[in-house]
Structures are given as C-alpha cells and as structure tokens.
Amino acid sequence: MTLTTKPLPDLLDVVGIGSPLVDVIARADEGLLERLGLIKGAMTLVDLDRAEAIYASMPSSIEVSGGSAANTVAGVAALGGRAGFIGKIAPDAMGDVFTHDITASGVDFEASVHPRTDGGTGRCLVLVTEDAERTMATHLGVANTFAPGDVGHALLERTKVTYLEGYLFDLPPAKEAMRQAISATHGADGSVAMSLSDSFCVERHKSDFLELLNSDLDLLFANEDEAKTLFGVSTLARALDALEETGVLSVVTRGAQGCVVVTPASRIEVPAVPVANVVDTNGAGDLFAAGFLYGLTNGLDPERSAKMAAVCAAEIISHLGARPQGDLRALAEQAGLFDEQGDGPAG
C-alpha cells in the first residue's frame, strides 16, 4: 500500500465516510434480546416505530455520538492525527449533538444537512450483555438518504486514506456515493480502506465487496467471521489464503487472540493487549482501525501499526461506549509506539 505525498499543510491522515449516529447504550440480559427479536451480536436496521419501542424497553442508558467510521476518525484524532468525516444529518437536536461531539474531538466534519427533520438524525440502540457482547438496533434516519450528491470533494482531495464502512452498502443510493468517493480519492492520489462491518452485512453484499476488494481497495479490515463469510470458507486459514491471493493489505481481527496482518508477501500475527475487565466490545473494531490507520499514515510498518491498533481496541473495551475515555496517545507512548520525544510514532 503506497501512501500519497500531498502538500503537508493541507494533508489529512484519514477521512471517514459513514452514517452519523447517536449511540444509546444500556446493559441488558439475553432474555430482553429474545423478547425484542434481536440477534445477539448483530446489527439490525429498524424503522422509527420499532426504534422507539426498543428504546422504551431499554434499562437506564447513556447517550454518546457514534457511528462506525465516525468512531474511527475520532480515534485517529485522539492519537494526534488529522482526520475528517463526511456524513448526513438532520437539522435537529441529535444532529447538533453529533456535530458538536465530532468537531470537539478535532475532526473536520463535512456535513450534508437534510432539508427536513422527518426521520431525524440516526441513532443506534446498543444492548450490552454480561459477556460484553453488543447487539445493535439501528435507525439510520436521514443517513438512509445518503447519495452521491452528499459527497463533497474538499476533504477527499486532502486525505491520505479514505475509510469506508461496509454498513453503507445497506443503503442503495449510498453504494454509488461510495464508488464516487473511491474515484475521487484515487483521482487525488489517495488510498482507500474499508471495514466489512458485520458478517450479516457481508452475506448481503458479498459480490459487491469482492468486486471492491479485487479492483478498488488498498486496505481491508475484517474480523474472522466476516473474512470467512466473504470467501464462503469454513476456516480462518482458507480465508487468509484467499486474502493473500488478492494482493491487498488486509487485517483480520480475532478478539482476545489478536489479529493477523496479511500482506502479499507474509502473514504477521500480533497479540491483543490484555484487558483485566472487558466491559463492552462495542467500537472495538472501529478503534482498532483507528490505531492501524494512524500508524500506517504516520510512518509505521503494518506490524507496528497493528500494535498501535491493539492498544486502542483494549482501551475501548474497558468501558461503556465506542469513543475513547482514556488518553490513547499516552497509552501508545507507554507501549513504546512513539519516539522518546513523543513527536511521532517510533518506527
């Protein structure tokens, strides 16, 4: 994967494109999931009426801005990187909350604002069971109307890497928006990364994802189940073989077993950072991607970038919510991933 050499003053490390959401997070037991008809560990798209019914059934909750790609770029900024985000919101209170949170985290936000409040800014209802697994019911609101006209080029022309969330492929107009963003990024000599997001999402869009992998992507993030689903295989070894054949730099996460970085020439296993008390796995993949992208765009090789990613993932699963609460940069410094002066990643 070759990164751009654009003029430094205007350069962004990563620009994410995804659905701006406000996360509503609560602890729940598996009985509640069954009563609500939700599949444990999966993300289910719901309409506004069902979202309101699920919300009414949730125990005491916390609310925080979220969305997969938005979490990732917020993580990049927390590490000291320069990041941007493109997404669609409504002119409502939740849209204001999302805008405040993303910009306060140091991210340049290129918002497309829907002219009406019907549907509202998206929200994700996150139910966390005792084993720290998260189950999500997502009402996308106006993000459901994200289309090519919502993709500006101002940020894409400045980024080293554009990061896409696979969830967007559940929205037909957004497919074309993503292809437009890929074209704009490559036209400006940037690279394109994507997260597969969810194994059910992969099952729904397998042919589209394989096409992107074989023609447009420079970097792929997937967990073990997503990778096996993408290639229709039953073992991790076969999924890694298939990824290696594509020649695309890929990272397969395996939870507590760490990750495997796949390059055209090698496979590198990187262990997870131990966490004494896993509270909530929501956002683990998002912040893993943040650490890897920050490392890769700031001079680290893939192996050390994966170590940076592991530090970020460990922080996020130690508390409720998918945005960092600890100092990610300080944690990375303690892990020896910055030089002695703390000026930049240690290669």
CATH number at residue 58: 3.40.1190.20
Q: What is the pLDDT of residue 344?
A: 62
User: Does 242 reside within a domain?
Assistant: yes
Closest CA to 124 of 143, 134, 138, 144: 138
Instruction: Classify residue 121: in a domain, yes or no.
Output: yes
Provide the residue-wise pLDDT of the chain in tens; the chain has 347 residues: 656 555 555 899 999 999 999 989 999 999 999 999 999 988 898 998 899 899 999 998 888 888 999 999 999 999 999 999 999 999 988 899 899 999 999 999 999 998 876 778 999 999 999 998 889 999 989 998 999 999 989 999 999 999 999 988 888 888 899 999 999 999 999 999 999 988 989 999 999 999 999 999 999 999 999 999 999 999 999 999 999 999 999 999 999 999 999 998 899 999 999 998 998 887 899 999 999 999 999 999 999 999 999 999 999 999 877 788 889 999 999 999 986 545 567 66
- 106 near 12, Cβ under 8 Å? no
Within its chain, how far is the Cα of 89 from the centroid?
18
Q: Is residue 4 part of a domain?
A: no
Shortest CA distance to 191 belongs to which of 149, 167, 153, 156? 156
Cβ neighbours of residue 173 closer than 8 Å, sequence gap 6 or more: 145, 146, 147, 148
Q: Does residue 52 sit within a domain?
A: yes
| Position 347 in a domain | no
Question: Are the CB atoms for 69 and 17 separated by under 8 Å?
Answer: yes
Alpha helices in the chain (DSSP H): 30-36, 48-57, 68-78, 93-104, 172-187, 199-204, 206-215, 224-231, 236-246, 284-297, 302-316, 328-334
Q: Give me the domain span that covers residue 218.
A: 12-334
Residues 6+ apart with CB under 8 A from 311: 273, 291, 328, 331, 332, 335, 337
| Contacts made by residues 334-341, CB under 8 angstroms, sequence distance 24+ | 335/273, 335/307, 335/308, 335/311, 337/295, 337/300, 337/304, 337/307, 337/308, 337/311
Is residue 340 one of the residues assigned to a domain?
no
126 touches 26 (CB < 8 A): yes
Q: How many domains in the chain? A: 1
Query: Could you tell me if 126 and 38 are in contact, meaning their C-beta atoms sit under 8 angstroms apart?
Result: no
Cα three-residue angle 192-193-199, rounded to 5 degrees: 140
Identify the DSSP state of 80. Answer: T
Q: Which phi and psi angles does 241 have, rounded to 5°?
A: -60, -45
Query: Which tokens in the block code for residue 301?
Result: 């090789």
Q: What was the pLDDT predicted at 115?
A: 81
Element (H, E) at 110: strand 107-113
Q: What φ, ψ does residue 6 adopt, rounded to 5°?
A: -75, 165
Task: Please report, for residues 51, 65, 94, 208, the alpha-carbon distance to residue 73 in angstroms, rounded to integers and kept in the order given.
Answer: 26, 12, 19, 24
Q: What single-letter DSSP state applies at residue 323?
A: S
- 97-125: string of b/e by CB count within 10 Å (b at 16+)? bbbebbeebebbbbbbebeeeebbbbbbb
CB 148 within 8 A of CB 177: yes
Give a yes or no: residue 344 inside a domain.
Answer: no
Residue 30 CB: number of other CB atoms within 10 A? 15
Query: What SS3 state is found at 338?
Result: strand
Residue 345 counted as domain residue: no
